[in-house]
Copies of this chain bind each other. A is one copy, B any other.
Amino acid sequence: MELTVYLAGQIHDDWRDQLKESAKQKGLPLNFVAPQTNHDRSDDIGEAILGDQPGNLYRDDAASSINNLRTQVLMQKSDVVIALFGEKYKQWNTAMDASTAIALNKPTIIVRPESLIHPLKELSNKANVTVETVDQALEVLGYIFE
């Protein structure tokens, strides 16, 4: 049995690569999918495909329509969702992806530092599990295969 895992969260560093490398070392039968992690590409994708838009609102809406299609396809293929929150950025997409996953009955793990306990308390309470590090999230997934 292989599981497909959607990795929601910021796209400003390489946490997903580290997670994949760690999963590989542990020999876990996991496939990972994720939002577009090239930040510029993610912001530009609307105009890249649809052409110039008349202002930031329209440029952002064009990009988000394509990002949302991508996420919808990949999340529907997923068995589990990991959502990473950190101290930087607003991360409303992460909250959106985690909440959507929970509403669709996708088992969901939230990763967040101790400093975010309070602002994430309601979302943490709805998720299956909340941990503080990506490694802990992977331990949770590893536990499924024990």
In the complex, which of the residues B33, B105, B128 contacts A1, with contact meaning CB atoms closer than 8 Å?
A: B33
A111 CB → nearest B CB, Å: 12
Residues of B within 8 A of A36 (CB): 143, 146
Q: Sort chain A's interface into a size bin.
A: 35 or more
Instruction: Give the docked Cα–Cα distance between A77 and B107 (Å).
Output: 12
Could you say how many copies of this chain the assembly holds?
Answer: 8
The smallest C-beta distance from A87 to any residue of chain B, in angstroms, reads: 10
Say yes or no: A96 contacts B58, CB within 8 Å.
no
Chain B proximity mask over A56-87: 1 for CB below 8 Å, otherwise 0: 11101101111111111110110110000000
Cα A33 to Cα B77 in complex, Å, equals 19
Partner of A66, one of B55, B65, B67, B143: B143
Contact A136 B49 (CB under 8 A): yes
Contact (A109, B69) CB under 8 Å given A102-B100, A125-B61:
yes
